[in-house]
Every structure is written in structure tokens, then in C-alpha cells.
Homo-oligomer: A and B are copies of this chain.
Amino acid sequence: MKRLITVAAAQLGPIQKAEGRDVVVARMVRLLEQAHRKGAHVVVFPELAFTTFFPRWYVEDLDEADGWYEQTLPSPATQPLFDAIRRYGLTCYLGYAEIAHEPDENGVLRKRRFNTSVVIAPSGEIVLKYRKIHLPGHKEFSTLRKVQHLEKRYFEVGNLGFPVVRAPVGPVDGVNLGMLICNDRRWPEAWRELGLQQVELTMLGYNTPAVNQENRGFEAHHLRNFHSQLSIQAGCYQNATFGVGVAKAGNEDGFELMGHSIIVNPQGEIMAMATSWDDELVVADCNLAMCELGRTTIFNFAQHRRLEAYQRLASQTGSSAPAVWQPGQGEV
């Protein structure tokens, strides 16, 4: 039996540092209108969708950067987005910078900052929240870099795990929805945590610099997009899920972000791809029944996974050097 939904990737073009939320929210509302006209049931926006990719800008005191974050969702500035979601009856993935006043791991109430995404229901209700776990980059100003990548400064590591929820989407009663954010897509651990919860639609937004500054002559520039798509395609195939990877793309104040947002099926095939560096909406009809094939055959986890052989995965953070073998030593 088919379980068909139409999925939209709502890529955003660049947002300059000086631009306000009003401009961005108006652009996002236009993308929701397009999604409605194209018959979409679910729309995926990028990571940190309301602002420029601000972790490239250093601030000494984080409180000076509060303007990049949302203290409530919706706020007066973002309310038009929620109104449009309700008007068109869409399910929505939205990435934003979150300030939360909540207890830390020591139980002390603090102002905390996360790189966050939510699933919003057609009613405008927030269904599920995820906070980015694999924060790339660094915490202190780097004199070695031409562009900073201060995610480890601006955000704490997410503390909500990798949640999945089954919620209605369009005509389908229940779809298993999961979220990742940007760099998470490169980590098979993140995909597998979702796969172990039978995710069927994995939504993720990203802001990815078009050039790897640290390539040391080993990484051709064109590989940036290959690596992104390779990771998403492998994650989808190996966990039998549809995936939607959505960029903020183009030139922000002289710094280029890659585009090529994609919708991928559980076979790892790219079904649709954005090809501009601008606001662009691409859609694909996704039959969620496809997820069953992998889940019940080659990736039937219950039949094939072998926990006793995976003990390093969840007990050893960094890598360690292997034993050294010398000629004449015999079998290790």
C-alpha cells in the first residue's frame, strides 16, 4: 500500500549580516506559498534560517550576540511564518539559534544557547525539538583561519539526544520524523540513532562554507558538495529513510556557502536537487512504503546487528593506535 507525501526542500539564498528577520521571514513565507502551490505536505528550511551564518563572526561577550538568537518561538518577528504554516496546512522543519533559560547539568538555572531545529505541525504547534550534537569548528578566535567557524563558542552541545516522533503529515496518519543539523549528517552514529527508531523522513538543514580552508592540498574544492551528498545518501540507504538536506546558499558578506539541497530516497538516490544559490524550492513525491524494503531485509537490524562487536562505538570517544606487528612475530 502506498503512503505518499510530497516533500519540499526550501533552500534559502544568502542573508547578509545587516539584514533583519522581517526580510528573511517574508522570503520564507513566499517559499511556503510556492510549496502550497506545488502540493507539498512538508517543507524543510535550512539551519539557522533567520540570520546570516553568524558563527563566522567573533564576539568576545556572547551577550552582545543575543540578537542572532530566538528567545521565544514564535516571536512577533517570526509570527508571519507560523501564520503561513497554518494557512497552508503544512508540516515544517525550521532551524534557528535558541536561547533557553533552563537548568544546566549541575541543576543551575542559566541562560543557555543551542543550535536548534523544530518540527512544526500544520496547526502551528511545535511537535518536536532537536539541539545540534555534532558542533564543528572551534571555541576561541583562531589566528590561523581567514574565516572563523565558532560554533563551539556560540552553542552548547545538544542535550535532547536524537528524538524521533510519529506524527500526521498531509494525507498520511503517521510518519516517523527525525532531525539532524548540518555537520550531524557526516556522522553515521547520528543516522543510526534515528534508524534504530524507525525514522522514515530525516530532515536536516545546513550552512556549509563552499571551501574547506584546512584542506592542506588534499581536498579538491568540488568535493565539499560530494561529501555532503555522500553522507546523506549513505545515511538514507543504510537506515532505509527518506532524507531532505537543505542549504542556506550563496555569498554572505563575501563568504560563500554551498547549495545543492537534495531530497533522497531510502535507496540513496537523489530525487530532486536545487541548482541555484538563491531561494529555491524543489519537491519530490515520497512513497513511505519504500522504507520497509531495507528495514525488513538487508538492514533488518534485529537479524543482523552484532552489539558484542560494537563496544568501542559507545565507550571510546577518540581513536587509539593499533598494536604494532614486526616480521617474525607470528599471528597477532
- A residues engaging B (CB < 8 A)? 121, 123, 125-129, 133-136, 157-158, 161-168, 174, 176, 183, 186-193, 195-199, 214-216, 218-220, 223, 226-227, 230-231, 233-234, 237-238, 266-269, 290, 293, 295, 297-307, 309-332
Contacts and interface: CB of A to CB of B under 8 A. Distances in A.
Please give the count of copies of this chain that the complex contains. 2
Contacts of A189: 188, 192, 305, 309-310, 313
A162 B198 contact: no
A332 B300 CA distance: 27
Given A215-B293, A227-B237, A196 B305 contact: no
A326 B157 CA distance: 29
A314 B318 contact: no
B192 A297 contact: no
A290 to B, nearest CB: 5
Contact of A322 (B198, B231, B323, B326): B198
Contacts of A314: 307, 310-311, 313-315
Contacts of A167: 324-325
B238 A188 contact: yes
Given A214-B297, A313-B313, A331-B129, A238 B186 contact: yes
A189 B167 CA distance: 29
Contacts of A136: 298, 304
B176 A322 contact: yes
5 contacts: A136-B304, A186-B298, A196-B316, A215-B293, A230-B230
A313 B310 contact: yes
Contacts of A322: 163-166, 176, 197-199
A266 B230 CA distance: 13
A188 B193 contact: no
